[in-house]
């Protein structure tokens, strides 16, 4: 079954996806591909949120003095490396 909207989809990719997925129609194949893509993107966003939460918790745990001491150390190190 061919629909009028599939003419913009690469026919080779569509056929390969149809065979790999065991789908009967192009519409089934495209719908399944979109569902997988949405799940994949959602998982990436979920992981990024978890990473951000981890870093925010870590930053909260760093004392202000420790942060400035570290910043001073990095500044001095970069001066030594650059020869200033």
What tens digit of pLDDT does each residue of 14-73 get? 889 889 889 889 899 999 999 999 999 999 999 999 998 888 777 777 666 677 777 777
Q: Are 43 and 66 in contact (CB under 8 A)?
A: no
Token pair, residue 21, equals 């997925």
- Is a pLDDT exceeding 90 seen at residue 3? no
Start-to-end CA span in the chain (Å): 72
| pLDDT for the residue numbered 78 | 82
Residues with Cβ within 8 Å of 14's Cβ and at least 6 positions away in sequence, in order, are 6, 26, 29, 30
Number of domains comprising the chain: 1
pTM (2 decimals)? Answer: 0.54
Token pair, residue 49, equals 């949120």
Dist CA 75 CA 73 (whole Å)? 5
The range of the structural domain enclosing residue 8 comes to 4-82
């Amino acid at each position: 079954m061919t629909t009028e909207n599939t003419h913009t989809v690469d026919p080779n990719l569509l056929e390969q996806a149809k065979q790999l997925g065991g789908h009967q129609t192009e519409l089934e194949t495209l719908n399944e591909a979109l569902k997988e893509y949405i799940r994949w993107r959602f998982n990436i966003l979920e992981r990024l949120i978890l990473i951000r939460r981890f870093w925010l918790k870590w930053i909260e745990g760093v004392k202000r003095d420790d942060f400035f001491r570290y910043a001073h150390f990095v500044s001095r190190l970069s001066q030594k490396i650059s020869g200033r």
